Amino acid sequence: MTLPETIREKLEVLLGWLLRTLGGVWRFIGTITTFPPRSSWYWGDRNSMLAWALFNTVALVRFISPLQWWKRLYRKDWSNRSSSKRPNFHALHTERYFVSVMIVAVAAANLFPDALKYSPFVMPVVILLTIETIGWIFYYLFVRNFVEPDYTLYHRAEYFVLLPVVVVAQIALLSILYESPMVNVFFAIFGGGAGEDASPQGAWELRLLGLCYLALIIGNLRMMYPETRFKQTTVFSIIGYGDVTRNRILPALKALEVPGRRYDVMTDELSNAELGEAALAGLRVQGAPPAQIEKQIKAQRHPVYIATPTPSHMDYIQLLADEGIRFVVEKPISAHTSEIAQLKRRAAVLFKDGFAASYYTLEKSLPLTYLYNPHRSYLKYLEFSEGLPKEYASITRELGALEAARIEILEGPDRSPSHDRRLWTLDPTKSGELYETFIHTVTVALSAEVDLQRSNLLSLNVGTFRNSPKKGCPTLYSAVLETPGQARIVLSSGKYMPEASCRRSAEFVFSGGRLTMDFNAKRLDIKTPTVEGHIRVRDEYQCNYAVSMSLAMDFMQNGWSASRFDDLDNQLEALSWLVSSSPFHTQPPTLYDDEDVERLVQPMDPASQTGVLL
């Protein structure tokens, strides 16, 4: 049977009016209280009837709260004065409200309790305020976390500090309702020594209320109590027990007076003699297969200093980045094209908790690094001559345009690989001289803001020492570049140099002055028309690797400050440039010995035959 058209139309109109009216009422109620979002009770593709009932009941209880109506009037009043966003009802207003309720309720319950029960107006108000206090506690200490997932507080203590006031007010109100002294109501709710006879009659609901409050208080304390902040452990592990660890890292730690109990060394290659020697020296060195080292890293979660041969760097970097463990890695980060490309793409993720160390830019040429990047983390390692302006940008501005530069790291046999020391560093398949030493000249140039990416490679000499223990592998590189500003840049590194040819220094000639960096003395001399002075590494940090290790330990213990203070950006740019410069990889090396090595080292002045500045 179908309804006549006219009746159906009237029913539709009536239904529409009812729905519109109910919608208006519902929206008005929503201006007083906060209804739960659908996501709070609709989970996945199913809804929860109990969650819907609970959250909406609490919302309706808050609708009858005088405090909520005050909020509504306050916001409406202030919104009429301004066109800005909804005014904030600060916690201070809530505190004033409940303190007032508490004072009035406590006074009424203690001064004239018998007179209240005969007033037809007081008891409904007492019931209303009691319901309000119960609803307030459950909402702000429990329900709000479920129905307002994006709410924020100014402080952890906001609202929670008000709990004792609300509870006291509630006890006073219940005291009036139960016609029982406040102390008896308190013991009925929270338990204690008042005894059964002193409790209000039928007080099981008060005991249940007390259990709920106890659970809420413990839960909120656990969630809101300010977490104690702990510094990162000062213990760390060193992976690798080769030349860098033995002759650089460990002596630097000793010079810095770092107790041996703060670190241990793990390696996958360790003879019995080496193990015994380390034990006699008081070192904690452990030999274990790579799988065991990886397992121990995950279990201990100590910061890690990666001092292994270059080919294994990326495996450890990926492991530590995945585990969220802080780490320091020696240069070069990698010497393989595919890994370098991956580093460029994922550096922000892989090095979120990683520190790229550099023996030159972060130590031997730290004064030059600081001149162009005056990071506060470097300050404690440096001393400055009198007369240098504190605004270092003024020095670089006064220097003017770069006209020429020479960066040389030419080292003798005592600083070169041998059959029993770092021989693998000459092998291009593992890293080679290009990525082990020549890269330092590149990172130093980049730290002085030399634009290598857009520079032209004018000439390149590649040499191999005639008596090198690794036959056929390059041991010398000397490159001449021209920047977009037509400055001539000479970068040279070499091993097995005769004593007369050994030098480790850099010189930058500008239109308005020059910079001279002595890598051995760790000193930068500055000369401009108005400034003449120097920046040098302090005496207490002159021990090799002392600055590098101190910076690394600061990072391992404290993490990053507002900005990085490692060499990651320079290294990634240097690696990218070296990989993309094919002559460095394709040009065959020329044999050299002590007598003819200087012919391969190119001078900064093309008219000079010595490589020494004119």
Q: Which residues pair with 527 in a beta bridge?
A: 514, 532
Per DSSP (E only), the strands in 377-501 are 382-384, 402-410, 456-465, 476-482, 488-494
CATH number, position 291: 3.30.360.10
Label the pairing between strands 382-384 and 523-527: unpaired
Of 216 and 474, more confident: 474
Residues 338 and 374 in one domain: yes
CA atoms within 13 A on the CB side of 392: 16
CA pair distance 206, 241, nearest whole angstrom: 68
Helices 204-224 and 182-190: angle between axes, nearest 10 degrees: 70
Structure confidence at residue 83 (pLDDT): 47
Residues 266 and 415 in one domain: yes
DSSP string, 98-156: HHHHHHHHHHHHHH-HHHHTT-TTHHHHHHHHHHHHHHHHHIIIIIHHHH-TT---SST
Residues 439 and 586 in one domain: yes
Residues 435 and 483 in one domain: yes
Structure confidence at residue 7 (pLDDT): 80
User: Which amino acid makes up residue 463?
Assistant: G
Pairs from 370-374 (Cβ < 8 Å, separation ≥ 24):
370/535, 371/395, 371/396, 371/515, 371/524, 371/526, 371/535, 372/396, 372/447, 372/448, 372/449, 373/447
Examine residue 6 and state whether it is found in any structural domain, yes or no: no
> Could you report the per-residue pLDDT of 65-74, keeping only the tens digit for each?
888 888 888 7
The yes-or-no verdict on residue 288 having pLDDT over 80 is yes
Of 229 and 576, more confident: 576
Residues 314 and 206 in one domain: no
Task: Look up residue 53 and give its DSSP letter.
Answer: H
Examine residue 19 and state whether it is found in any structural domain, yes or no: no
Residues 469 and 522 in one domain: yes
Structure confidence at residue 577 (pLDDT): 95
Examine residue 42 and state whether it is found in any structural domain, yes or no: no
Span 506-521, average pLDDT? 96
CA pair distance 55, 39, nearest whole angstrom: 12
> Could you report the per-residue pLDDT of 171-224, keeping only the tens digit for each?
998 888 888 888 888 888 887 655 455 556 557 788 888 888 888 777 777 766
Instruction: Report the chain's mean pLDDT, rounded to a whole number.
Output: 85
Residues 240 and 155 in one domain: no
Say what the pTM is.
0.68
Which of 26-35, 75-84, 96-105, 485-494 has the lowest average pLDDT? 75-84
The yes-or-no verdict on residue 611 having pLDDT over 70 is no
> Could you report the per-residue pLDDT of 385-427, keeping only the tens digit for each?
987 877 777 888 999 999 999 999 999 998 888 877 778 788 8
User: Which amino acid makes up residue 406?
Assistant: R
Residues 476 and 366 in one domain: yes
Which of 40-54, 242-256, 283-297 has the lowest average pLDDT? 40-54
Span 316-342, average pLDDT? 93
Span 115-120, average pLDDT? 69
Residues 312 and 164 in one domain: no
Structure confidence at residue 482 (pLDDT): 95
Examine residue 2 and state whether it is found in any structural domain, yes or no: no
Span 11-34, average pLDDT? 78
Span 275-293, average pLDDT? 84
Where is the domain boundary, 166, 188, 221?
221
User: Which amino acid makes up residue 309?
Assistant: P
In this prediction, residue 44 has a pLDDT band, given cuts at 50, 70 and 90, of low
Contact 176/113 with Cβ under 8 angstroms?
Answer: yes
Structure confidence at residue 610 (pLDDT): 40
What percentage of the chain reaches a pLDDT higher than 90?
41
Dihedral in degrees, nearest 10, Cα atoms 549, 551, 552, 555 = 160
State how many domains the chain has.
2
Domain containing residue 503: 236-599
Where is the domain boundary, 196, 221, 246?
221
The yes-or-no verdict on residue 541 having pLDDT over 90 is yes
Examine residue 270 and state whether it is found in any structural domain, yes or no: yes
Examine residue 353 and state whether it is found in any structural domain, yes or no: yes
Examine residue 230 and state whether it is found in any structural domain, yes or no: no
Residues 559 and 494 in one domain: yes
CA pair distance 64, 132, nearest whole angstrom: 8
Where is the domain boundary, 169, 189, 221?
221
Residues 194 and 289 in one domain: no
Examine residue 49 and state whether it is found in any structural domain, yes or no: no
Residues 139 and 249 in one domain: no
The yes-or-no verdict on residue 315 having pLDDT over 50 is yes
